[in-house]
Structures are given as C-alpha cells and as structure tokens.
Amino acid sequence: MLHAFVKDGGTLRWSKEAEQDDGPLPAETVWIDLLNPTPQELARAEALMGVALPTREQMAEIEESSRLRITPGAVHMTVMALLWADTDRPSIVPVSFVLAGGRLATIHPIDPQPFLAFRRRVTRSGCPVAKGAATGGEAVLAGLVEAMVERTAGVLRRVGLELDTMSSRAFRGRALPSRAQKSAQNSDDTRTLKRIGHTGHLVGKAHVSLASLHRMLTFLARGEGWTAAKPTRRWARAALQDVVGLSEYARFLAGKVGLLLDTTLGHINVEQNEIVKIVSILTVALFPPTLVATIYGMNFTDMPEKSWEWGYPMAILLMVLSALLPMLYFRSRRWL
C-alpha cells in the first residue's frame, strides 16, 4: 500500500488522487509511506526519489553498515519499531527511512501504531513541513521519530505502573493460605508469573527499539558524510537525550522484572517448603501409632495383652499418646 503526502503551501497534505492513479507521483510529494508495497508501488516511489529503496531482505540486516549508510544522493536508515505493545504478543518490525532530494520514503511490512497515528493526524489537520528541519522530508522524519519515542515512553510508563502494582503485592508479605484459598492462590501465582514474563518480554522489545533509535539519532546528530541541516542536527541531539533517558529507564525496569521474578519464585518455594514440612511432620507423627497397630496386629498365639481386660483400650490410648507426644514436641520446638 502506498500513501503519498504532498506539500500544500507550508502544510503537508494527504494526496488521495496520487494513490489511486498508476502514473508518476506528483512532484510536490514530500513523504511516501510504503506499507508492504507491491513491485509497482515500489517502482513508482523509486522513480520519484531517484534512488533504489531497500528490499525486505536488506531491512532485516543487523549490521551497522547496512542499517545506516549513505549512497550518492540519499541517506538510508533502518530502525526497529515497537509493534503490538498492547497485546500479549509484542514484537518489533524493521522500518526504513530514505532521505533523498528533500523527500522522505518510509518502508515497513507492518504498520506501527506511531505511523498510523501520524498519518491520521496529517490527514485530519495537516502538518507543518518546515518545523524543526530544513526540508519537508526531514520535518516528516522528525515527526515520525518523535511519535515513535512518545509511543515507547507511553509503553514503558504503563509497564512501570504494572510492575509497581505487582511489586507492592509481592513485597507486602502473604500469610500461608487456607485450604479453601490454596487452589485460588496457585492459579494466581501462575497468572503472576505469566504477567512478569510478558512484561519482561515487552521491556526487552522496547529496549531493542530504543537502541536502534539511539544509533540512528547519533548518526543524524553528527551529520557526517551528508549535508544535514543545523535544525535537523539540533533536533536529533534533543531527541537523543530523550532516547538515552528512556533506555536507562528500560534497563531499570528490566532489573525490576528480574527482582520481581526472583521474589515471586521465592514465595512459591517457601510455600512449597511449608507444605513439604507439614507432610514430613505428619509422617513422623503418625509413625508411632502405625508401629503400635502393626505390633498388636500380629497373629501370634502367645501375646499376653490379648487376654487383658483393658488391653484394647490400652492399645488405643497408646496409639493416641504416641501421636500426640511428637506433635507436642514439634510444637515446643516451633516447627509447627
């Protein structure tokens, strides 16, 4: 899918006519957004940009020289955008930015939420194409990167609140559950572990996205090898500070996820140890009565206790005492 945005005066405007037509794109086009483009759409964009746009295989490269490179008349940059952060399957997707001739082309196989929100905002109210950059393409690049940074910041803020909620529950201490509560608590522990795992996975994806943005913004701030305008370098340095702060916050959240995971597993281990201890104590307490019952259950002819008048009650009393005395001893040692 191809979305074309043209410069209308000093404002960026969506050109619906350019998308429906199969001919060349208008010369006023400032931003070409390619969502999983077809070969025909890719050819139309390349004809206007005057450079070859990266393929999906090239976008998947992880080498620094492949993600940030300068070709004659163009600058190619690829970052990893956070995707599906509000679902249980967060992911990242490569997004390529190509600056050439004052225009910007973006290529991505899946639509990240910041791109969708930015296109809607431009379609609804337009966007100044000279704010914070020397050319329209660089202005759009600034707006898109800022939208990605804001989106990542919002995700990390939500993750931080969720971790605070789970931490307050994990560290306030929990009493041993009753029999009626044990099944519900086991299910709750399982859900908690899943939530912690999902949160850690999301923080990891956000950190990968921020690391790629950090490399791209450093590249833009330096402006080495290409004629980056001063407003672009100034904007890139400001955005870089935001990304550095978010990266540090993401590392803090990752450490908090590890601590919370260890705490939750520690709670589960303590509860399991308590259960094993109770079972062991009951086993030891019931062993003497079992021994008494086993002795008097033997069918020998000469067993004097069988002829006693109070033999049966004495055997029962002996079994009860042999069970109570170990329990009293365990209680005196604070094992129960």
CB count within 10 Å of CB 197 equals 12
Residue 168 pLDDT: 77
How confident is the model over 194-244, as pLDDT tens digits?
A: 888 889 899 999 999 999 999 988 888 887 666 666 778 888 888 999 999
Statement to judge: residues 252 and 279 lie in one domain: no
Task: Tell me which of 221, 238, 272 is where a domain ends.
Answer: 272
- Give CA–CA dist 133/265, Å, rounded: 51
- Give CA–CA dist 157/173, Å, rounded: 26
Residue 228 pLDDT: 64
Statement to judge: residues 241 and 310 lie in one domain: no
CB count within 10 Å of CB 267 equals 17
**Average predicted confidence (pLDDT) for the chain:** 81
Residue 173 pLDDT: 54
**311-332 and 230-296 are packed helices; what angle lies between their axes, rounded to 10 degrees?**
150
Residue 226 pLDDT: 64
How confident is the model over 78-125, as pLDDT tens digits?
A: 999 888 888 888 888 899 999 888 888 999 988 888 888 888 888 776
Statement to judge: residues 236 and 284 lie in one domain: no
Residues of the chain with pLDDT under 50: 131-133, 175-176, 179-182, 184
* H helix count then E strand count, the chain: 9, 8
Q: Which domain holds residue 217?
A: 2-272
- Give CA–CA dist 274/20, Å, rounded: 70
Residue 133 pLDDT: 45
Task: Tell me which of 272, 287, 312 is where a domain ends.
Answer: 272
Statement to judge: residues 283 and 208 lie in one domain: no
Confidence (pTM): 0.74
Residue 128 pLDDT: 62
Number of folded domains that form the chain: 2
What's the CATH number where 315 sits? Answer: 1.20.58.340
Statement to judge: residues 283 and 148 lie in one domain: no
Statement to judge: residues 232 and 286 lie in one domain: no
What's the CATH number where 162 sits? Answer: 3.30.460.20
Statement to judge: residues 200 and 213 lie in one domain: yes
Statement to judge: residues 43 and 188 lie in one domain: yes
Statement to judge: residues 192 and 45 lie in one domain: yes
Task: Tell me which of 250, 272, 294 is where a domain ends.
Answer: 272
Residue 131 pLDDT: 45
